[in-house]
Amino acid sequence: MEPTLNELRNSAHVLSLPLAVKFRGIWSREIMLFKGPQGWTEFSPFVEYNDDEAVHWLKAAIEFGWSAAAPLVRDSVMVNATIPAVDAEHVPAVLAHFDGCRTAKVKVCESGQTLAEDIARVKAVRAGMGPEGRIRLDANGGWNVDEAEHAFHALAEFDLEYVEQPCSTLDELAELRERTHYMDIPIAADESIRKAQDPLAVAQAVAADILVLKAQPLGGISSVLEIAEQVSLPVVLSSALESSVGISMGLHAAAALPQLEYDCGLGTASLLAADVTKKPLLAQAGSISVQRVDVDEEMLSSLAAPPDTTAWWQERLQRCYALL
| Percent of all residues in the chain with a pLDDT value above 90, rounded to a whole number | 90
Tell me: the pLDDT tens digits for 41-52?
A: 999 999 999 999
Distances (CA, A) of 201 to 84, 174, 194, 235, 296: 29, 12, 11, 15, 41
In a domain, 307, yes or no: yes
Q: Residue 248: inside a domain, yes or no?
A: no
Band of pLDDT at residue 194, cut at 50, 70 and 90: confident
* pLDDT (0 to 100) of residue 90: 97
For residue 83, the cross-strand partners are 106
pLDDT at 197: 67
Q: Which residues sit opposite 134 in a β-bridge?
A: 103
Residue 217 lies in a domain: no
Mean pLDDT of the chain: 95
Answer yes or no: is pLDDT of 195 > 80: no
Residues 267-275 have a mean pLDDT of 96
- What is d(CA 195, CA 202) in angstroms, rounded to the nearest whole number? 11
Within a domain: 314? yes
pLDDT confidence of residue 72? 98
Q: Please report whether residue 114 resides in a domain.
A: no
Residue 59 within any structural domain of the chain: yes
Is residue 270 pLDDT above 70, yes or no? yes
> Can you give the CATH number for the domain in which 14 is found?
3.30.390.10
Provide mean pLDDT across the span 108-134. 97
Per-residue pLDDT tens over the stretch 225-264: 999 998 889 999 999 999 999 999 999 999 999 999 999 9
**Which residues form the domain of 17?**
5-69+298-323
Confidence of residue 220 (pLDDT cuts 50, 70, 90): very high
Per the structure, the count of domains in the chain is 1
32 falls within a domain: yes
Residues found in the chain:
324
Look at residue 196 and tell me whether its pLDDT is greater than 80.
Answer: no
Residue 258 φ then ψ, to 5°? -60, -40
Average pLDDT value for residue range 100-110: 97
What gap in Å lies between CA 140 and CA 128, rounded to an integer? 23
Q: Rounded to two decimals, what is the model's pTM? A: 0.95
Residues noted as catalytic:
107, 214
Average pLDDT over residues 76-97: 97
pLDDT tens digit sequence for 129-177:
999 999 999 999 999 999 999 999 999 999 999 999 999 999 999 999 9
Q: How far apart are CA 32 and CA 178, in angstroms?
A: 42
Q: Which of 59-68, 164-173, 196-205 has the lowest mean pLDDT?
A: 196-205
Looking at residue 193, its pLDDT comes to 79
The answer to whether residue 27 is domain-embedded is: yes
Give me the amino acid identity at 13.
H
Strands laid side by side in the 13-23 sheet = 13-23, 26-36, 39-43
The pLDDT value given to residue 290: 98
Mean pLDDT over 113-124 rounds to 98
